[in-house]
Amino acid sequence: MILDYYRDLSFTYLDISDPAGLVYLMLAVYLGILIALVASFFYKQTTGRVIWGLLGREALSPETAITAKEGGFSGARYLRALRPRSMLRKTVSVLPPEGEEEPAASDRGILSWLGRARFYLPIEKREPSERRFARRGNGVPALLFAILLSTAALVLTYFLLSPFLRMTDNALTSLFGGSL
């Protein structure tokens, strides 16, 4: 039944000069942008908290490594961001607790293991991390400004794109006589 739906799905009649089709297309793009903005905001907040926790405590070598609790990032969402093969693990180094091996990323005990592990930011990754996770420009006001800007772009596109497409169509028709 589901395969029949996709087999019969046709974009032949998708006409972007139709105002309703254009509105649906613009709303889909707008919603995609909003989802990307919010996801990026939460990712930067999570990873930034870990990085700034390490930088604030000067955990820049194995000798100065700290636990997640000491760094202020002991919550589950922060520890999930530190699982093996995650993007944050390419920046942050992990020292296992005494006498323990690191479990697999899919293991259920990985979060409790990360809660006991010690973390540090290698000195060579300090400057790139400070630039990438700079505190200014990453807050709620920046997110709200980006959403407001996206909404303004949606409204402008709605009012300007349809006349622009009509004008372009008329110009091409008059130039080439409809032989395109």
pTM score above 0.75: no
Q: Under 8 Å CB-to-CB from 82, ≥6 apart: which residues?
A: 50, 68, 88, 89, 92, 94, 114, 119
What's the number of CA atoms in the CB half-sphere (13 Å) around residue 119? 31
Give the pLDDT band (50/70/90) at residue 140: confident
**What gap in Å lies between CA 120 and CA 58, rounded to an integer?**
8
Confidence of residue 18 (pLDDT cuts 50, 70, 90): low
pLDDT above 90 for 33:
yes
Residue 114: count other Cβ atoms within 10 Å of its Cβ: 25
Query: What pLDDT band is residue 43 in, cutting at 50, 70 and 90?
Result: confident
**CB within 8 A of 117, min separation 6: which ones?**
67, 68, 94, 95, 96, 97, 102
Domain ranges of the chain: 45-133
Q: Is the pLDDT of residue 13 over 60?
A: no
Q: Which of 138, 117, 131, 134 is nearest to 59 (CA)?
A: 117
pLDDT above 80 (res 62): yes
Residue 108 has pLDDT above 60, yes or no: yes
Task: Look up tokens 């930011």; give the residue.
Answer: 121
pLDDT exceeds 60 at position 105: yes
Q: What pLDDT shows up at residue 122?
A: 93
